[in-house]
A and B are shown apart, each in its own frame.
Chain A
């Protein structure tokens, strides 16, 4: 079945440093979403990417969908303590069943 892996599993950065998490799917995706889950909270939607090679920006966050639609990345510029949490990608292949990745837990040291 479809599997979605993320690397790294954990990332500790100093406040102000950049952060990137990578998402890789075993199958070609129709679209990919990104979610953030704060400690003790539930996943909150960040963005959806649909087109091959698509790049979207939200303030300090840059999201990219690979040309082959099998991978994606999230890059945060100049991290802040409010960025702490676990970032998940979630992809679907032709249906509306979203398979979540393994997640990257980000810790920001002030």
Chain B
């Protein structure tokens, strides 16, 4: 078990470009979460999946953000027409439910986005 893997670890892009992040959760974890974190702040909820179903999406997210988990395994988070305010660390976490669930969210190392 290699933990939650996120790619790329760093992304620098120009304003207006599209970016995509990938998250590979711990195998057999059926819940997957995306959070955004800026310096000095707590992780901000973006969305979460149970298997391939997107169960909830933050109302704070504009239509420029979309996430998918097509086969209930890995997930992608796409940001279209990036803005400087999108610069942040994008964190993915996975969790196993229900059997043996302790509630723990296992976080990846994150993907840091810088929009110039």
Contact = CB atoms under 8 A, between A and B. Distances in A.
A21 to B, nearest CB: 12
30 contacts: A1-B59, A4-B42, A6-B42, A31-B103, A35-B105, A42-B110, A43-B43, A43-B91, A43-B93, A43-B107, A44-B107, A45-B103, A45-B104, A48-B102, A48-B103, A48-B104, A88-B42, A90-B105, A95-B55, A96-B31, A96-B48, A96-B55, A97-B45, A97-B48, A98-B105, A99-B45, A100-B44, A101-B42, A102-B42, A105-B40
A16 B50 CA distance: 43
Helix, strand, loop or mixed for chain A's interface? strand
A88 B89 CA distance: 16
B106 interface: yes
Interface of A: 1, 4, 6, 31, 33, 35, 42-45, 48, 88, 90, 95-103, 105
A89 to B, nearest CB: 9
A97 B56 contact: yes
Contact of B41 (A31, A97, A102): A102
B108 interface: yes
B106 A45 contact: yes
Interface of B: 31, 33, 35, 40-45, 48, 50, 55-56, 59, 91, 93, 95, 97, 102-110
Smallest CB-CB A-B distances: 9 pairs: A100-B42, A48-B103, A45-B104, A42-B107, A100-B43, A103-B42, A97-B56, A43-B107, A88-B42
Contact of A100 (B45, B56, B104, B108): B45
B41 A42 contact: no
Specify which of A1, A45, A88 lies most central, judged by the most chain B CB atoms within 10 Å of its CB: A45
A60 to B, nearest CB: 20
A20 B1 CA distance: 35
Contacts of A45: 103-106
Contacts of B44: 100
